[in-house]
Structure 1
Amino acid sequence: MRAKISYFIMAAVLAVYFVLAGGRGVALIQQGTWLTVTFGVAVFILPVIGGWFLWQNTRFVTRANRLATELEAEGGLPVDELARDEHGRILRDSADEVFARRKEETEDAPNDWRNWFRLAVAYHDARDTPRARKAMQRAIALHQHEKKPVRT
């Protein structure tokens, strides 16, 4: 819950920043000189790109949370079976062992979004964020494909 609140606060702060920066960009463009128009376009483009990234990330998180909720309802969320050190950090060997099992499960049933979700969690636990994100994107895509009505 704390992570959701932090995310929404950060998103709100960024949205305010994007509006303020975009307003400055528009004001610079309205000045009309070649220098202020150039700076204004540059200042205006950055919030547009930032807003797009924020929107994409929010969609990703929302979809991943929906999958987690559905998987939890099915009783299929991965169980935390990782060994930890005295500070609570995941031990690398333990994460690698769980990852190997999750990878094998996914290879055995590559079209099951549930396996890809669990593989994404294993990648995350192994501190491989780029692959965790790609695995979660695959899970989301498979889930969306599964939920589409069949056309006749």
Structure 2
Amino acid sequence: MPRGVVGLVVVLLLLALYGSVVVSRGIGLVRTGNGVGIGIGIAVLVLPLLVLGLIAAELRLATRVQRMADQLAAAGELPVDDLPRSPGGRIDRGAADAAFGAYRDAVEAAPESWQAWYRLAFAYDASGDRKRARAALRKAAALY
């Protein structure tokens, strides 16, 4: 079993334990009959549901991204990480920025191509723009 999956299972088990404690405290606050206690209790019960929804969305994205990577790998079309690196392993920002234009142009030429968006996401990441990288990955996943 991959290490990432083991880590995920451990985190989910800890989250389940935490969730059970939070739910019992939330129910206890609602049962106080006090208006403030009821309000806080409801908030305590709703927040874990929002967190679980966000975690589920991230897991769906991760599985879709993995399927996209598998498909690109099978076709021999995965982006190649051949950018120069510093002795410490950091990608040379100038080289990443220079290579970025080709990926941006590919998306502009084929805006409905999930493959182009997938590659653009990794170009953004190499350039250090994680926010746009994530947005491009979400766009690729939506088009997939």
Scaled by the length of structure 2, what TM-score is found?
Answer: 0.88
Q: Which runs of 4 or more aligned residues in structure 1 lie more than 6 Å from their structure 2 counterparts after TM superposition?
A: none
| Identity between Structure 1 and Structure 2 (%) | 36
Give the corresponding residue for 1:100.
Answer: 101
Count how many residue pairs are aligned between Structure 1 and Structure 2. 143
Task: Using the TM superposition, give the Cα deviation of residue 4 of structure 1 relative to its aligned residue in structure 2, in angstroms.
Answer: 4.2
Specify the SS of the correspondent of 1:35.
helix
Structure 1, unaligned stretches of length 5 or more? 144-152
**Once superposed, what is the RMSD of the aligned Cα atoms?**
1.7
Q: 1:98 to 1:111 in 2, by over 3 A?
A: same
Structure 1 contact 116–135 (Cα < 8 Å) conserved: yes
Partner of 1:72: 73
Q: Deviations over 1:69-109 (max 9, x none)?
A: 11111111001111110111111112112222211122122
User: Any stretches of 5+ residues in structure 2 without a counterpart?
Assistant: none
Deviations, residues 8-55 of structure 1 (Å, cap 9, x unaligned): 433432343233212211222122222321221121121111111111
* Residue number in structure 2 paired with 1:150: none
Residue equivalent to 1:133: 134
- Alpha-carbon distance between aligned partners in 1 of 2:17 and 2:33, rounded to the nearest angstrom: 25
* In structure 2, distance between residues paired with 1:7 and 1:126: 28
Q: Distance in 2 between matches of 1:126 and 1:75?
A: 23
